[in-house]
A and B are shown apart, each in its own frame.
Chain A
Amino acid sequence: MTTAAEIAARAEREDIRKRWLLSTPALVIIFLAGIGPLLVVVLYSFLTPGPYGDVKWEFSTDAWIGVFLQRDMFDDTLGIADAHLSIFLRSVRLSFATTILTLIFGFPTAYFIATRPERTQALWLFVITIPFWTNLLIRTFAVQEVIRNEGILNNALIWLGITSTPIQILYTDWAIGIGMVYVYLPLMVLPLYASMEKLDFRLVEAGYDLYATRFQVLRRIIIPLVKPGIIAGSILVFIPSLGAYVTPRVLGGGRQMMLGNLIELQFGAGRNWPLGAALALTLTVIVTVALLFYVRYAAQSEQRHG
């Protein structure tokens, strides 16, 4: 005799089986596109470099040691890998600056768009996405054209009498920063717009009604309410900035490397795939740690504001 409980249990089992079956495509994609490649990279980072690139199937931890330490050419002792460290630091610093600057420029832009009448909003969003139609490399060369010594910017500065000789911007960290802010700005504006568009502007009026000045309304009402957008935008800008390599390559001229360039170098001219893989994983770890801190911080300040 089957009781109601048994029938319910069987229905539940069937339900679970069906749910697994339905989520199979998603799981396959997550594995093939996400976890699988990551495992390959982990595997490669523990192998020995082959003579012409590629890898030899011999276990080795040299790549991981090489990420942080370097063998002295003359006495064969191990020391801190200064070059790698400074590249790590520059990458984090530039990505951080890029995130802050895109936030500073992106916030008013998104606010402007979100406060337009509905039909014009679509138009402004369209304008924001236009740069995406052009290849990244070409856009970056366009920035180079603007900031090089004989470029528009320096010519304008000289013509205005602000400087008599061209200012060297190209091939400095400044150039990389300018390029990255330009390239990643839309990635900040879009999520910011998405959360501002949901903002109830009656709350802004309520703020003014309760004697808050414009700045206080911004700080106490608008920013806390659009925080999800700020977080999403910051993540979307910070992560690709850390791994960026086209922009630093073109605007940093190979003199100012970032992590992305260092990794690319190992897979290319450096012919050290395991080191490249280990560096790529290091980048992943930096991103993960940064994300964890950021999310934790965001949650905390949420609590503090009550």
Chain B
Amino acid sequence: MPATPDRNAIDVRSVSKIFGSGADRVAALDNVSVVIRENEFFTLLGPSGCGKTTLLRLIAGFDFPTEGQILLHGQDIAPLPPFKRPVNTVFQSYALFPHMTVAQNIGFGLEMLGKPMDEVTARVDQMLKLVKMEALRNRKTSQISGGQQQRVARARALAPQPKVLLLDEPLSALDYKLRKEMQIELKRLQHETGITFIFVTHDQEEALTMSDRIAVMSSGKILQVGSPWDIYDKPSERFVADFIGETNFLTAKVEPAEGGKANAILSSGKVISATVAESLVPSGEATIVVRPEHARVVKGEGHLPGVIDNIVYFGTDTNIHVRLDDGGAFIVRQQNTRSAGCGFELGEHVGILIADAAAQVLKD
């Protein structure tokens, strides 16, 4: 689906944000441009301190860009104070009002918009039901659990029906199981409401399972934007490949081949076919990546010979760590079958077979 201008929810244009000056100068965002489409579940993914919160704060209006422009549905929002932007936030710390009840928290936005009291009540009821919190409507927010607080924060931000919902690591304070539940709830909520979600996380698994598209960030820059599949299978840079999932990096000599692909000559002299990031003409020494599940361990030579130096069992999968004859390391993930064992032993001489077109040539 091509992104026509009027279907863009948020358009971030060459935005930079500088904090401090002189020795304390921090470029929290460095010339960032990204388009977020309407009704999209868009995720900002990156390590701590890469500028995710800063970008959300600029969109919400709590901070102003040092340079650049942000458009909401094609309109520059720079002149709008935060309380005039049709954008709501689920804060990293929830920021629920401690002196109000659950219901008062949820109704606050509508009340401030000057909606009549019966409409506020009706909508609060509806939101309480949506997040399954009817029973706790009159509790103080300090007297409910973390997961419940998260629900209230979400209901409070959704109640005024914003055009865009910003979620700053809304699940990071929850334990693993609750988190999985909430991921499904959030995804369902986004689907049902059709509101554009901009979701921040530093958890790559969360990003992959929930998002329509992901922007991977590092030190104030957006490195790659794409679908989870794009990001995982076709990382354009070493950082992206490394940050998302387990990866094997290999050095190879590459040369262009037909169909926009490349041929990579491995250290063993074997040649494999590899895909190439857009706008890259492969030549000479390059790094290529292979995901562990896109390779197999075989008896005999394969593409790369080596010795098994570790076997790690995971339940569904087994990781086989191979020390390559060229000195490098390689991990193969293999799905477990009902028969016992993975069929290999420690110290066994084996070969690694890389699936066709599974390798990707990186930009760096």
Q: Footprint of B on A, CB under 8 Å?
A: 200, 202-203, 205-213, 216, 220-221, 224-225, 302, 305-306
Contacts and interface: CB of A to CB of B under 8 A. Distances in A.
A205 B95 contact: yes
Nearest to A223: B99
Contacts of A205: 62, 82, 91, 95
A208 B99 contact: no
B88 A209 contact: yes
A210 B99 contact: no
Contacts of A207: 97, 108
B83 interface: yes
Contacts, number: 63
Contacts of B88: 209-210
A139 to B, nearest CB: 38
B332 to A, nearest CB: 46
B49 interface: no
8 contacts: A203-B98, A205-B91, A207-B108, A208-B83, A210-B109, A210-B112, A210-B156, A306-B101
A224 B89 CA distance: 22
Given A216-B112, A305-B100, A306-B104, A208 B82 contact: yes
A306 B91 CA distance: 22
Interface in B66-112: 81-84, 87-89, 91, 93, 95-101, 104, 108-109, 112
Size bracket, chain B contacts: 20 to 34
**Is chain B's interface secondary structure helix, strand, loop, or mixed overall?**
mixed
A302 B100 CA distance: 10
Contacts of B104: 306
Given A202-B91, A205-B62, A210 B101 contact: no
Nearest to A210: B109
B95 A200 contact: yes
B93 A202 contact: yes
A306 B100 contact: yes
Contacts of B95: 200, 202-203, 205-206
A209 B83 contact: yes
A211 B99 contact: no
B60 interface: yes
B99 A212 contact: no
Given A205-B82, A208-B62, A305-B99, 7 more contacts: A205-B91, A206-B89, A206-B95, A210-B109, A211-B83, A211-B109, A306-B104
A205 B95 CA distance: 9
B60 A209 contact: yes
A160 B207 CA distance: 68
Contacts of A202: 91, 93, 95
Contacts of B108: 207, 210, 212, 220
